[in-house]
Chains A and B, each alone.
Chain A
Amino acid sequence: MQITVGDLKIGQKAIIVDFDVDTIPLKLLEMGCLPGNTIELIQIAPFGCPLYFNVNDSHVAIRLETAKEIRVVINNTNND
């Protein structure tokens, strides 16, 4: 099964593979949420949403449904 940003655990890093451009707000792309960049889950808000990430050195919070649209591969070298 394809892993998405919504599946990450706190502190886990992954590399963005792709997403459907239509479902992702342009603003998020401009923050640096682009294929090939590393994304790290920093914090999950109480009740499971929103999620707080560091992507491309931008600190940004998005909702779970958006996070589930972003497909990633876990970066094994950084993953413990």
Chain B
Amino acid sequence: MTKDTIKVALIGNPNTGKTSVFNQLTGLHQQVGNYPGITVEKKIGACKLNETSKATIIDLPGTYSLNASSIDENVVIELLLNKKDENYPDVVVVVSEVENLKRNLLLFTQIKDLEIPTILVINMSDRMQLKGIELNIPFLEEQLQTKIALVSSRKNIGIEKIKELILNYESLPNLPCLNASSIDPEYFEKLKKTFPNQLVYKLWLVITQDVNFLNLERNEMESSFTKSHADLKQLQQKETIKRYQFINETLKLGQKIDQSKATDVRAKLDRVLTHKVFGYLIFFVILFGIFQSIFDWSSIPMDYIDRSFADLASFAKMNLPAGEFTNLISEGIIPGIGGILIFIPQIAFLFLFISVLEESGYMSRVVFLMDKIMRRYGLSGKSIVPLISGTACAIPAIMGARNIENWKERLITILVTPFITCSARLPVYAILISLIIPQQRIFGFLSLQGLTLMGLYLLGFGMALLSAYILNKVLRISSKSYFVVEMPSYKIPLFKNVAINIIEKTKAFVFGAGKIILAISIILWFLGSHGPDATFGNAQNIVSKTIKNTDSNYENKLSEYKLEHSYIGTIGKYIEPSIKPLGYDWKIGIAVVSSFAAREVFVGTLATIYSVGNQSGEEATIKEQMKNEIREDGSKTFNFATGISLLIYYALAMQCISTLAIVKKETNSWKWPLVQLLFMSGLAYLSALLAYQILN
């Protein structure tokens, strides 16, 4: 058969470097999407095998076995059981790792039972010598009924071998490597007789799993093949033991490990990193370093981006023919795009740190260190991963809560994660802090602004813990407390993996959130530069009655009047009474309301409102414009009290529609996102009110 595109599925345990292999095979030719109806990330990449043949590679979620315990793992089974699926693979590549071969092979033997052509990749082969491991590849290939590629995705070794094996997938043996049905011959014999056209192992998976395939047969099966839950689990245990027996026998002959060569790096690092004092100290120092550097390092590119877009807007205004269209470009679109791109440095830095922590294996140690403490608040040690990645964005963080086995702990994690300071809050914080906190350093190196930012992170984290504590007392849910965490070996993060991750996440932000921000900027520009005829259309006549049109202040007065009586000004004035006690004027009010969909819109909105209102010709940066804003009494709009009140509001309020949508999806009910919205935004309003009234 000459197929020009071979479909390949990449499957493996977590921490085997599966994603590195995927990155090596496909480079940047990747598409990230979602499986229909669920929020599991779907990664597909193209790979050129030789001059004429290509492969489409799908990177499936990491799983320890075909016994799924989460929606992520379900994806793997559903694909492998459904021959009609458009991504059903011609060949499966199982990625294993040289140090954990025994455990990795469990999944491999299960996949072999499905009788799909399967290639075994043994990754991290560069560590074999260091660990004193020797493998008898021809023996293993024979026992496991497969072809093996020894690979080091880190050193880019063996990738060509994978491609070659994929090309020749039709010559792969597709027999199972052991007979798993011997765990209960009578039962499986009966299954086989009833469904002669199906693979016994497939049927077994359908019986034990909650997968949506083979629905008809499933109903038939319920009647004659039902076993009690306990019996099924007994059988699954027998199956697992049976598979390990085979694997152990195979490895006894096919793998030699020289124990004396096993270096002790893991043990030494573990002793320090999970130490009862140093462990926490190191964790705290790492976190502190991350927040300081995000604020310090990204301020330079951010200022540069801010300045460039202000210049670009002035340039457009001066050089394009005057008119409606030019105004749209210079006052709507350019500030709008600037308001998106300005976040890139901070988002990139955040994802840099998070992917380094995850890739190195350190994150699991933090889970281990924090479990007991987090449990006091009704959370799990595993909640620390969503809580930390929540500093980038609550959406992937909430999805990351899936691997928390206990439903109550998972629900509480989902509910409190949006309190964590996400990257969308950063631009709001950054601009407000730079306006109200002086640029001083204490002890010569701690920047006061950085400390304020740290304080806001702590506020978010504290509120998350406090709410978790309350939820833990209030929620009446009992579920079994399962907690199993793999502690992977330490690895130096791969530059390519980290870089691809940063690029993917930044791209997702720019094109995802960016669309909303740009659309809102344009709508705001329109609402800000148009208004009812009676006042807005008549502005020149009305203003010239109070001030002579030769007066130097005339232009400013006119544009101020116009903004106030535009559509947006009318809306702003309408809501002003409810936000005045918080220290906000109607312009800030508009920004708060328009950022209900996404927090980061706040800065962009102010940028648009102020540039519509600014007639001086020279386009100032957003920060300068905010600094120059004054109230009716002549005092600065963004004074200390208003600034703090806004900071607190944004720290606590649920201003993100995407998060609400993801919570709805993950909890499968509207109840939880609504609870979240009312609780968080109510709390934010009251706290901001209190702060302003005390400080003012």
A61 touches B485 (CB 8 A): yes
Name A's interface SS. mixed
B64 touches A31 (CB 8 A): yes
- Interface size range on B against A: 35 or more
A45 touches B368 (CB 8 A): yes
Give CA–CA (A29, B106) in the complex, Å: 11
Interface members, chain B 75-98 (any A CB < 8 Å): none
Given contacts A29-B240, A30-B64, A30-B106, whether A66 and B482 have CB atoms under 8 Å apart is: yes
B369 contacts which chain A residues (CB < 8 A)? 45-46
Confirm or deny: B237 has a beta carbon within 8 angstroms of a beta carbon on chain A: yes
Give CA–CA (A47, B489) in the complex, Å: 24
Give CA–CA (A27, B486) in the complex, Å: 10
Confirm or deny: B1 has a beta carbon within 8 angstroms of a beta carbon on chain A: no
A50 touches B102 (CB 8 A): no
Q: Bits for A9-46, please: 1 = Cβ < 8 Å to B, else 0.
A: 00000000000011001111111101100000011011
Known: A60-B487, A61-B371. 13 other contacts (CB 8 A): A22-B230, A26-B233, A26-B240, A27-B69, A29-B240, A30-B64, A52-B274, A58-B486, A60-B486, A61-B483, A63-B371, A65-B481, A66-B484
Q: How far is the CB of A34 from chain B (nearest CB, A)?
A: 5
A52 touches which of B64, B236, B368, B481 (Cβ 8 Å)? B368
Instruction: Name the residue of chain B whose CB is nearest to the CB of A25.
Output: B482
A34 touches B483 (CB 8 A): no
Q: How far is the CB of B462 from chain A (nearest CB, A)?
A: 20
Instruction: Name the residue of chain B whose CB is nearest to the CB of A23.
Output: B480
Q: How far is the CB of A78 from chain B (nearest CB, A)?
A: 13
Q: Which 9 A-B pairs have the closest CB atoms?
A: A46-B276, A59-B487, A47-B372, A25-B482, A61-B485, A63-B483, A30-B65, A27-B484, A61-B368
B484 touches A60 (CB 8 A): yes
Given contacts A45-B369, A56-B244, whether A27 and B103 have CB atoms under 8 Å apart is: no
B484 touches which of A31, A34, A46, A65 (Cβ 8 Å)? A31
Confirm or deny: B293 has a beta carbon within 8 angstroms of a beta carbon on chain A: no
Interface members, chain A 48-71 (any B CB < 8 Å): 48-50, 52, 56-63, 65-66
Give CA–CA (A58, B486) in the complex, Å: 8
Given contacts A21-B237, A30-B65, A58-B103, whether A46 and B487 have CB atoms under 8 Å apart is: no
Q: How far is the CB of B491 from chain A (nearest CB, A)?
A: 13
Instruction: Name the residue of chain A whose CB is nearest to the CB of B488.
Output: A59
B interface residues (Cβ-Cβ under 8 A, vs A): 64-65, 67, 69, 99-100, 102-103, 106, 229-230, 233-234, 236-237, 240-241, 244, 266-267, 270-271, 274, 276, 279-280, 364, 367-369, 371-373, 381, 405, 481-489
A interface residues (Cβ-Cβ under 8 A, vs B): 21-22, 25-32, 34-35, 42-43, 45-50, 52, 56-63, 65-66
B102 touches A34 (CB 8 A): no
Give CA–CA (A58, B530) in the complex, Å: 67
Give CA–CA (A65, B481) in the complex, Å: 9
Q: How far is the CB of B594 from chain A (nearest CB, A)?
A: 45
A47 touches B373 (CB 8 A): yes
B371 touches A26 (CB 8 A): no
Instruction: Name the residue of chain B whose CB is nearest to the CB of A54.
Output: B487
B486 touches A25 (CB 8 A): no
Give CA–CA (A58, B244) in the complex, Å: 13
Q: For B229, B271, B368, B489, which residue has the most chain A Cβ atoms within 10 angstroms?
A: B368
A42 touches which of B270, B482, B483 (Cβ 8 Å)? B270
Q: How far is the CB of A46 from chain B (nearest CB, A)?
A: 4
Give CA–CA (A68, B106) in the complex, Å: 26
A49 touches B481 (CB 8 A): no
Given contacts A56-B102, A57-B103, whether A46 and B279 have CB atoms under 8 Å apart is: yes
Q: How far is the CB of A15 from chain B (nearest CB, A)?
A: 15
Give CA–CA (A52, B240) in the complex, Å: 22
Give CA–CA (A48, B229) in the complex, Å: 32
Given contacts A30-B65, A42-B270, A46-B276, whether A21 and B233 have CB atoms under 8 Å apart is: yes
Given contacts A25-B405, A50-B381, whether A34 and B487 have CB atoms under 8 Å apart is: no
Q: How far is the CB of A4 from chain B (nearest CB, A)?
A: 16
B371 touches A56 (CB 8 A): no
Give CA–CA (A52, B368) in the complex, Å: 8
